[in-house]
Structure 1
């Protein structure tokens, strides 16, 4: 049987295939609920138990912690597959899986010798607790983004963590991350009170029902409407010490272990968009080749206009595939093909190009299918709105290209100067 994930990952190992079969097992329910979820803007709560029972909440958790043992390729294949059925669910699922990096990367940093001997037990305990919970079926919402913005960073942390007896008190507003009111726990990034740099960033596992947590006003999104992106307000929320990782510099040290795209899994969000774009393309092709003109009997797809539109869609779709497959290769190959800085630079460009290419596919599908398919609740209408969100999520293409250009020109400027021995 050919799996949907094989359109992205052209070769699968036996273990990867087994994991992707688990992903495909939940697709019928996701497809059935997608239109209603978009209409109401509510995350389908039945999906939680569905994905938990399939073991998918532990997809990229090592088997030693009770997970399925998948990696970045598995995550990209899963979000691509889920994105072809319900992008909102795929997006929320993606953010759940980003939480795993806060367990996996600290353990890698320990192996690399980045922590002092007395810090290791604390780091290890938090990492293993997080990974074991995920493997056991705990859904995590990864809350990092906030209302405050910084001109020098994509994510600015203003939430404050204050030490109190037995743990920490959190206060702040988290504006994005998916699964508000859905996830069992919120993984919150905050800064320790009194710190002024990244060494003061810390991680906290916050029970969804903790006293002092309220949801922000409902997010009435243009697309991805059922991803529960409301965000939370925290006022003196208590977090026990065992659910906290506050070792100074731990956040920065763990990020040093990533392979390129921030915490090593950001490319999987692009797979969500690509899965949605592929679904729109398939829908448009089936619709235009399945209907004929009344006067000639030829398929609608055979008209010159449709031939141009379909050709453009195919080109944009292939562009997105090429970018994301290259990024997957760069971030999973052993040994690494390029230095981390080069991988990161490519990611900044790739994210924007994939987003814009996928949106153009949806736009082409709208043109090809015409007025009768241009409904709010149809495949084309939903996908066009979902992929419009791809243009602004994480960061717009313009910012990625600007940062890549800055890195490129800075490197060139450095080449103009050299230290030589006389």
Structure 2
């Protein structure tokens, strides 16, 4: 085992190894900047050029569009690897890569015959634009989430788009997505004004410096502090028609092509958390086995209390690996092992189980390593705060389990998105 990603992906193809080597090439710089980035809560701007030069901004973009040709396994391996060094950077990188789904899934929907002959060229042009931008080294921030909530959906969209001469005018507030003020282009999900359901949801490419685009107040997060999660406000922002995908129902048709976890890549955010947990576990184990009791000369790890804690940490870490590997198998196997509804239900449970297991690992490290390691800027302190965020990002574990139970008892899926009138 020579690559960090091989801890998660135990069998890599030669092509996957080559892509993971590119990812690992940026780790020294990420590790060096991690503590300072957490302290200041600022995304290290140099990381964008670093990743661009490494060629990994197009990691999951097909080679025909200039990308590296990776898939979901590669994305999971990459976020796992980056998360072991700097979870904040890994989170921002994850959201950049989620933008690829807005190119890949529409093309799959065209192939599946979900669009009309008149709609196909419009959908295809937008999808290819997204993919070529990413492959060319453009950093995209994917903004869907908003503070407005809906009881029937994971993400409620209230941001509106009104038709104007030559394009569209956007108004709204986006609360989460990473890389605020950092990304070159914001990929914004909004609803066409006057629409009342998910068929009105559309996609827009908004340049960071466009008039009317502003960052919200600085997000002083508990963890993942350097991911630039401030969010944006949009006030009469103009987007040209060629930078928008507003074909009615296009967003819904796109999501129909996803295998399971949200839009086909959400499990990679859990790989980031698992990479972070593995990093803390390794640090704690090294610390506990290298330090010794003054009276007996035995390692601190040999004491009965520490043995219990280490055993519990190991079990929780393995639990997270099993959940994530199973979900990855369900979402990448050909032919599919289970129907989409079952894969989606599994994901709702897996997200919470992985989050809690990873957090438990770091709590164990915190208890085992004691006061001397309980610092704000240390590996364990950062890990404890970073992985507390796993419990609340996207949706809490309790919601996922409740929805999984509802799917089992009511035989229904919870809607992914809703259009909300404030």
- TM-score, scaled to structure 2: 0.97
CA distance in 1, matches of 2:264, 2:45: 29
The equivalent residue for 2:347 is 347
The equivalent residue for 1:107 is 107
Shift of 1:411: 3.4
Shift of 1:40: 0.0
CA distance in 2, matches of 1:411, 1:185: 39
CA offset digits 1:201-226 (Å, max 9, x no partner): 00000000000011100000000000
CA distance in 1, matches of 2:157, 2:282: 41
CA distance in 2, matches of 1:164, 1:20: 45
The equivalent residue for 2:176 is 176
CA offset digits 1:134-181 (Å, max 9, x no partner): 000000000000010111111000000000111100000000000000
The equivalent residue for 1:189 is 189
Shift of 1:5: 0.1
CA offset digits 1:178-206 (Å, max 9, x no partner): 00000000000000011000000000000
Matches within 5 A, 1:149-298: 149-298=149-298
CA distance in 1, matches of 2:362, 2:33: 21
CA distance in 2, matches of 1:89, 1:218: 17
Matches within 5 A, 1:2-401: 2-401=2-401
CA distance in 1, matches of 2:340, 2:229: 31
Range that drifts further, 146-155 or 284-293: 146-155
Matches within 5 A, 1:402-417: 402-411=402-411
RMSD over aligned Cα, in angstroms? 0.7
CA offset digits 1:256-280 (Å, max 9, x no partner): 0000001000000000000000000
CA distance in 1, matches of 2:147, 2:161: 17
CA offset digits 1:14-72 (Å, max 9, x no partner): 00000000000000000000000000000000100000011110000000000000000
For residue 128 of structure 2, give the secondary structure of its aligned residue in structure 1.
helix
CA distance in 1, matches of 2:80, 2:65: 25
CA distance in 2, matches of 1:4, 1:344: 28
Moved over 6 A (4+): none
CA distance in 1, matches of 2:350, 2:285: 26
The equivalent residue for 1:416 is none
CA distance in 2, matches of 1:25, 1:89: 14
For residue 205 of structure 1, give the secondary structure of its aligned residue in structure 2.
strand
Q: Which runs of 5+ in 1 are unaligned?
A: 413-422
For residue 323 of structure 2, give the secondary structure of its aligned residue in structure 1.
helix
CA distance in 2, matches of 1:98, 1:136: 16
CA offset digits 1:289-333 (Å, max 9, x no partner): 001000000000000000000000000000000000000000000
The equivalent residue for 1:415 is none
CA distance in 2, matches of 1:368, 1:398: 28
Q: Which runs of 5+ in 2 are unaligned?
A: 413-422
CA distance in 1, matches of 2:233, 2:117: 36
Query: Size of the alignment, in residue pairs?
Result: 412
Shift of 1:410: 1.4
CA distance in 2, matches of 1:345, 1:130: 29
